[in-house]
């Protein structure tokens, strides 16, 4: 113990607490802004579902984590262990252990939320895979969330090894933490790639298909953050945990925040695209109104008006082998235009007829 005490450093001028505080509060603020916009859009379109509830719960736990982290910082977390007031040490340790547990749950729920969204879009083996991903994410998170409370007696020895008490070997728990973070990253990437499989045979403009696929594949960034978090988990087992573990805390908050943002962007994209299309249509309508005031363009204007009626007719009558994009009269398809047949696994575009049939048969539609 004397050797360990000699290896500890004391320097009151060095403090990682302010950096942790700024980084974590920024992350919870940015992710909260995206989540609020998503929930407003979903509520306005009457599409609030379980995935929105899980995402909201994930952000709430992220907020709790950041609050616990701030309380620990106020007591000295981020400073060297020898510079922490001993009267505050036990309370700070309980805040830290609670923060780690809440962090794991917040991260896991953010990933499960996207998996629940995909359950509404998949069928067959892809649905089974999504269920597998959700189950393993939840099961593997349980040991990681309980380690801070079971590794040492007393709990404070988990974070400061020089204290009297007993501990199990910390190396297996560190390895398991690495495994859990890497598994979380793999599930992020695999779930982010599933929308491409769904969109592959959907009749859409290539640019639109790419846009939808990219918007729903942003979970790969959460996976990248999870890999970085796995690298810094070892900082939780160092001698001076109070000072050196700040990177692990920041990246854990970043993973949950990135998953929340990535899950919210597809909803924002659809609305933003609708706003842009409405603005462009309004501009074109204004231009056509001005052109009709010119008698020399009356004939061309009338000819255009006559031809413009054809897409509207197609939207009602064209349901065969012609372009589905023309049948919707928009020149492109949105996520809302797609329906999934659970029996066949076939994804098709919704027409006025198929929409009514889908309502009668309660076929799940794209939620975004």
Task: Give the total number of structural domains in the chain.
Answer: 2
Task: Name 79's bridge partners.
Answer: 15, 77
Residues 116 and 229 in one domain: yes
Residues 208 and 333 both lie in one domain = no
Give the CATH number for residue 91: 1.20.1070
189 shares its domain with 89: yes
Please tell me whether residues 30 and 103 are part of one structural domain: yes
Tell me the C-alpha to C-alpha distance, in Å, between residue 106 and each of 16, 26, 56, 58, 175. 23, 16, 10, 5, 21
- Report how far residue 266's alpha carbon sits from residue 47's, in angstroms, rounded to the nearest whole number: 14
217/317 same-domain check = no
Q: Is residue 2 part of a domain?
A: no
59 with 105, same domain?
yes
Same domain, 141 and 201: yes
Q: Are 133 and 190 in contact (CB under 8 A)?
A: yes
**pLDDT digit string, tens, across residues 245-272:** 899 999 999 999 999 999 998 888 767 6
Identify whether 85 is part of a domain: yes
Q: What separation in angstroms does the CA of 247 have from each of 17, 167, 202, 241, 361? A: 11, 24, 43, 11, 51
By three-state DSSP, how is residue 220 classified? helix
Which residue in the block uniquely carries the two structure tokens 């004397």? 2
Q: Measure the CA angle with vertex 66, ends 63 and 69; round to 5°.
A: 150
Q: Are residues 218 and 358 in the same domain?
A: no
Q: What pLDDT is recorded for position 325? A: 45
Same structural domain, 311 and 257: no
The answer on 177 and 38 residing in a single domain is: yes
Is 55 a domain residue? yes
What is the per-residue pLDDT for 216? 80
d(CA 115, CA 133): 8
10 is a domain residue: no
Identify the three-state secondary structure at position 122. coil
pLDDT digits (tens, 9 = 90+) for 45-86: 888 899 999 999 999 999 999 999 999 999 999 998 888 888
Please tell me which of 121-125, 205-209, 245-249, 269-273 the model is most confident about, judged by mean pLDDT. 245-249
Give CA 199 to chain center in angstroms.
20
Last residue of a domain, one of 266, 288, 319: 266
Query: Looking at the domain assignment, is residue 253 inside a domain?
Result: yes
pTM confidence score: 0.74
Answer yes or no: is 105 within a domain. yes
- CA atoms within 13 Å, Cβ hemisphere of 120: 19
Name the residue with tokens 């067959």. Answer: 124
**Cβ atoms < 10 Å from Cβ of 296:** 8
Q: Which residues pair with 77 in a beta bridge?
A: 79
- Among 216, 246, 266, residue at a domain's last position: 266
Distance of CA 312 to the CA centre of its chain: 38
Domain end marker among 210, 245, 266: 266
Containing structural domain, residue 363: 303-368
Domain-located, residue 127:
yes
**DSSP code of residue 133:** H
The per-residue pLDDT for range 289-342, each reduced to its tens digit, is 655 555 554 444 444 444 444 443 333 333 444 444 444 444 444 455 555 555
Q: Same structural domain for residues 146 and 261? A: yes
* Cα–Cα distance measured from residue 358 to residue 354, given in angstroms and rounded to the nearest whole number: 6
Q: Report the Cα 350 to chain-centroid distance in Å.
A: 28
**pLDDT, tens digit (0-9, with 9 covering 90-100), for 21-54:** 999 999 999 999 999 999 998 888 888 899 999 9
Question: Is residue 278 situated within a structural domain?
Answer: no
Residues 113 and 186 in one domain: yes
């Amino acid at each position: 113990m004397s050797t360990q005490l000699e290896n500890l450093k004391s320097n009151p001028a060095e403090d990682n607490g302010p950096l942790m505080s700024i980084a974590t509060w920024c992350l919870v603020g940015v992710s909260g802004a995206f989540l609020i916009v998503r929930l407003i859009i979903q509520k306005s379109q009457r599409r609030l579902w379980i995935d929105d509830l899980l995402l909201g719960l994930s952000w709430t736990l992220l907020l709790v984590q950041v609050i616990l982290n701030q309380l620990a910082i106020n007591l000295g977390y981020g400073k060297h262990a020898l510079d922490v007031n001993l009267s505050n040490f036990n309370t700070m340790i309980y805040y830290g252990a609670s923060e780690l547990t809440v962090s794991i749950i917040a991260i896991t729920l953010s990933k499960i939320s996207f998996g629940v969204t995909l359950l509404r879009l998949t069928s067959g083996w892809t649905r089974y895979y999504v269920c597998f991903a959700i189950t393993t994410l939840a099961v593997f998170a349980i040991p990681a969330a309980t380690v801070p409370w079971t590794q040492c007696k007393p709990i404070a020895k988990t974070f400061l090894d020089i204290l009297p008490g007993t501990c199990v070997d910390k190396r297996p728990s560190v390895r398991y933490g690495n495994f859990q973070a890497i598994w979380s990253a793999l599930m992020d990437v695999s779930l982010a790639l599933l929308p491409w499989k769904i969109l592959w045979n959907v009749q859409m403009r290539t640019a639109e298909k790419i846009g939808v696929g990219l918007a729903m594949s942003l979970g790969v960034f959460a996976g990248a953050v999870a890999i970085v978090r796995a690298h810094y988990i070892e900082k939780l087992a160092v001698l001076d945990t109070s000072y050196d573990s700040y990177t692990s805390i920041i990246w854990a908050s970043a993973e949950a925040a990135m998953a929340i943002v990535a899950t919210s962007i597809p909803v924002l994209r659809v609305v933003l695209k609708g706003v842009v299309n409405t603005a462009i249509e309004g501009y074109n309508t204004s231009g056509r109104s001005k052109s009709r005031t010119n008698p020399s363009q009356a004939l061309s204007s009338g000819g255009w008006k006559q031809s413009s009626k054809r897409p509207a007719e197609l939207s009602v009558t064209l349901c065969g082998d012609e372009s589905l994009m023309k049948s919707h009269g928009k020149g492109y398809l949105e996520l809302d235009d797609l329906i999934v047949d659970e029996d066949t696994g076939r994804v098709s575009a919704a027409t006025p007829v198929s929409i009514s049939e889908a309502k009668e048969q309660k076929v799940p539609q794209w939620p975004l």
